[in-house]
Structure 1
Amino acid sequence: MSTYDQIADLPLKVQSYELEGLEFAAPGFDRLSTVIHLVGDGHEGIGEDVVYDALDHVAFQDAGAVLDLAGDHTIESFSKLLEEQGVFPEPPEREVSVNYRRWAFESAALDLALRQAETSLHEHLGREPKPVTFVVSMRLAPIPAEGEQAEPSTIEPVRDRLAVYPDLRFKLDPTNDWDDELIAQLVETGSVDSLDLKGQYKGTPVDVDTDPELYSKLIEAFPDAWLEDP
């Protein structure tokens, strides 16, 4: 039985939901997201909509809780209800954003259903939980504003954080100005767990053109790191 089949029939009671806007301002890029608070039977489940385009978040938050989600459901029937009603009042800036928002509602629903059942995901699935590692995700240079020259990547953002929190782990977004010296400096820190190559991103502020030579250097330099999105 698949993991989804094991959660599909979980009972879910929804009374209301609320939206909470979050914003992180970085040079050249404002990152907005929306936390969905799904409420029912004295419990709350949360999920986060991580759609990339700020205008989609502004429209979502301005519209408020307009979906009719109240009632008794299962995880599967709730998902079908989202499909029927649609999670965007107007078409999003990019088509894939429909998935991101729907997953936010569905993750909030699963969180709420598990709380209402007084259990956890690993208990419901009969699995033993194992330790996880949280990482700091970032670039090594600010994202340039439109029309501005990009600043060079440096080791300093990593060193500054390690000086305060020596045990930090990192997920870094390599850019095509990473040279041999910078790669060697990062290897020396021993703190890089993941490299997000952004190879499939198109039309976003974080796009990076594929550079096979850089990929080869990274694979050799970080043999134990996760390589994302080549």
Structure 2
Amino acid sequence: MSESLWSRVADLTLTIAEHRWQSVMPPGEPEHGRYILHLSDGRIEGLGEEVGGKMMDEDGAFLALAPSLALGGSWTLASFSDHVAGLDLWPEPPEWDMARRLRRWAFESAALDLALAQNGLSLAEALGRAPRPVRFVNSLGLEDPPSFDTIGRRLERYPALRFKLDAQPSWSASLIAQVAATSAVDVIDFKGRYGIEVEDEAALVAMYREVVARFPDAILEDPHDLPEVAELLKPHAARVSFDAPIATAADITTQIVNIKPSRIGSVRALLNIYDHCEQAGVRMYGGGMGERETARGQIELLASLFHPDATNDVAPSPYNQPDLTAGLPPSPLIPGARVPGFRWS
């Protein structure tokens, strides 16, 4: 059996002399506040982003606790990961279990960045892979009430733009037909695995029926676990993808999977998923949990190493704005010069 990806980085050494947390609050967007972890040896710094940020720490209890965490010392990436797994990072238990992995990813990604930089390696060099141009899609919903204009305006400015769309039961048959006529949609995300209550099951099933028929080549992500939906999707199993349920390789049951590093939570689990998918022939594409700072570049880098030609939900952050400005980087994103660390240059 070939060497695992994790074994190529597990023994990387890192030294931490100090750490600090930075709170980043985008102007006018408090819901997108996030925390950045800085790990440093006094000269070289590793960065990690906690995408949950203020949303997971409304009263600032974690931000107050964080400076006292015992992170200093000499480690390997594996021993630091084990150490973080044993720390109490929650002054109060989180509302949902996934939050634990989001917070842990900030530590793990910062440690990987620092370990690589201190050893003078890029992630590509450490893993023995070459970064390639990254194809990306623009992920968004059609607003409420849904409107074709949401993507129409974008296509006027960027005619080659591709999309990952969040489906809604309120999509009418005529709207679905209009969107499908653009031939610009690569993924339909039903968000059916987040435990969100279904208010009108008949409308939901009707929407599925139209979407499946109108988008014959699109990936169908996170369909609802309902008997009528399952029956509709039986002939389309090869294009069904899971996203929300994926935290370990054991969770993968479909032929396509959306891999979100921050939701997986650890470097070891992430690399094991990549190994599993490559060995089992599972198609991969990358996504995120709203990364905007350093973690946006990190998910772009991972996409360039493992699934560059896929429908990657890693568009540069300006694509998240309601109206797109001119001059945004087009797909595919071209890798820059070699940079030591876990960074997209």
Find the counterpart in structure 2 of residue 192 from structure 1: 185
Q: CA deviation at 1:76?
A: 0.8
SS at match of 1:189: coil
Q: CA deviation at 1:199?
A: 1.2
TM-score relative to the length of structure 1? 0.79
Mapping 1:127-142, distance limit 5 Å: 127-141=129-143
Q: CA deviation at 1:53?
A: 7.3
Distance 1:60 1:157, change over 3 A: farther
Asked which structure has the greater RCO (Cα within 8 Å, sep 6+), the reply is: 2
CA contact under 8 A between 1:38 and 1:44: conserved in structure 2? yes
1:164 aligns with 2:165: no
Greater strand percent: which structure?
Answer: 1
Mapping 1:62-211, distance limit 5 Å: 62-141=64-143, 151-202=144-195, 207=196, 209=198, 211=204
Unpaired segments of 5 or more residues in structure 1? 142-150
Q: CA deviation at 1:153?
A: 1.0
CA RMSD of aligned residues (A): 2.6
Structure 2 CA distance for aligned equivalents of residues 13 and 162 of structure 1: 48
Structure 1 CA distance for aligned equivalents of residues 79 and 211 of structure 2: 44
Mapping 1:209-224, distance limit 5 Å: 209=198, 211-224=204-217
Structure 1 CA distance for aligned equivalents of residues 4 and 102 of structure 2: 22
Q: Deviation string for 1:122-179 (max 9, x for gaps)?
A: 21111232221233322211xxxxxxxxx32111121222333334332221111122
Q: CA deviation at 1:6?
A: 1.9
Q: CA deviation at 1:69?
A: 0.6
Moved more, 9-18 or 161-170: 161-170
Q: How many residues align structurally?
A: 215
CA contact under 8 A between 1:75 and 1:109: conserved in structure 2? yes
- Percent identity, aligned pairs only, is 40
Greater helix percent: which structure?
Answer: 2
Q: CA deviation at 1:62?
A: 4.2
CA contact under 8 A between 1:175 and 1:208: conserved in structure 2? no
Structure 2 CA distance for aligned equivalents of residues 106 and 87 of structure 1: 13
Find the counterpart in structure 2 of residue 144 from structure 1: none
CA contact under 8 A between 1:201 and 1:208: conserved in structure 2? no
Amino acid at match of 2:46: G
Q: CA deviation at 1:212?
A: 4.4
Unpaired segments of 5 or more residues in structure 2? 224-345
Structure 1 CA distance for aligned equivalents of residues 42 and 65 of structure 2: 25
Moved more, 52-61 or 11-20: 52-61
Moved more, 215-224 or 88-97: 215-224
